[in-house]
Structure 1
Amino acid sequence: MSGPFAGDAHALRTVGGVVARHRVFAIVVTFNPELDVFAALLDATRAQVEVSLVIDNGSTPECAARIEQACGRRAVLHRLSANVGIAAAQNRGVALAREQGATDVLLLDHDSVPQPGMVATLVKAASQLRGSGHVLGAVGPAIVDRKSRAAAPVPVIADGGITFVDVGGTAPVRCEYLIASGTLIALEAFHAVGPMNEAYFVDQVDVEWCLRAGAAGRAIFCVPQARLEHAIGDEVVSFWLLGRRELPVHSPMRDYFYFRNSLRLIRSPYVSLPWRRFWKRRLVRLFVVQTLFAPARLRRIRAMLSGLWAA
Structure 2
Amino acid sequence: MPVSVVVVTYNPDLKILSSLIIDNISQFNKVVVVDNSSRNIELIKSIFSGFNNIDIISLDENVGIAAAQNIGIKSLVNLPDDEIIVFFDQDSSIDFGYLDRLEAEYSLLEGDYSGPIVLGPTFFHRYDHFEYPSIKFTRFGFRKKIYSGRGECAVEVDCLISSGMSLRKRVLELAGLMDELLFIDYVDTEWCLRAISKGIKIFVTPNLMMSHEIGSGHLKLKGFNIPVHPPSRRYYRIRNSLLILKYPYVPKLFCVREFFVSSIHQFLFFIKLRDIEYLKTYFQSVKDAMKKRRN
Counterpart selection for 1:73 from 45, 50, 56? 50
1:147 equivalenced with 2:132 (yes/no): no
Which residue of 2 is the match for residue 48 of structure 1?
Answer: 27
Task: Give the structure-2-normalised TM-score.
Answer: 0.89
**Matched position secondary structure for 1:54:** strand
Residues 137 and 213 of structure 1 are in contact (CA less than 8 Å); yes or no, is this contact kept in structure 2? no
* Cα 1:38–1:280 shift into 2, 3 Å: same
User: How many angstroms apart in 2 are the aligned matches of 1:37 and 1:206?
Assistant: 22
Residue number in structure 2 paired with 1:212: 194
Following TM superposition, the consecutive aligned residue runs of length 4 or more in structure 1 with deviations greater than 4 angstroms are none
TM-superposed CA distance for 1:137, in Å, is 4.2
Say if 1:48 and 1:206 are closer, same or farther in 2 by CA, change over 3 A. same
CA RMSD of aligned residues (A): 2.0
Q: Taking structure 1 as the reference length, what is the TM-score of the superposition? A: 0.84
Report the equivalent of 1:264.
243
Secondary structure in structure 1 of the residue aligned to 2:162: coil
Task: Give the conservation status (yes or no) of the 8 Å contact 1:58–1:83.
Answer: yes
Letter in structure 2 aligned against 1:268: Y
The count of residues paired between Structure 1 and Structure 2 equals 284
What does residue 172 of structure 2 align with? 190
Aligned to 1:229: 211
Distance 1:29 1:270, change over 3 A: same
Task: Rate the CA distance shift 1:37–1:273 in 2: closer, same or farther, 3 A.
Answer: same
Structure 1 residue 158 displacement after superposition = 4.0
Cα deviation per residue 1:251-285 (whole Å; 9 max; x = unaligned)?
11110111111111123111124423432432343
Uncovered stretches (5+) of structure 1, i.e. residues with no partner? 1-10, 12-22
In the TM superposition, 1:24-173 aligns within 5 A as 24-60=3-39, 63-74=40-51, 75-101=54-80, 103-133=83-113, 135-158=115-138, 160=140, 161-167=142-148, 168-173=150-155
Give the superposition deviation at 1:146.
0.9
State the one-letter code of the partner of 2:258: W
Amino acid at match of 1:133: Y
- From the superposition, tell whether residues 116 and 213 of structure 1 become closer, same or farther in structure 2 (CA, over 3 Å): same
CA distance in 1, matches of 2:224, 2:136: 23
User: In the alignment, is the contact (CA less than 8 A) between 2:241 and 2:256 conserved in 1?
Assistant: no
Distance between the aligned counterparts of 2:118 and 2:146, measured in 1?
18
Other-structure match for 1:303: 281
**What amino acid does structure 2 have at the position aligned with 1:212?**
R
Say if 1:48 and 1:262 are closer, same or farther in 2 by CA, change over 3 A.
farther
Q: 1:82 to 1:159 in 2, by over 3 A?
A: closer
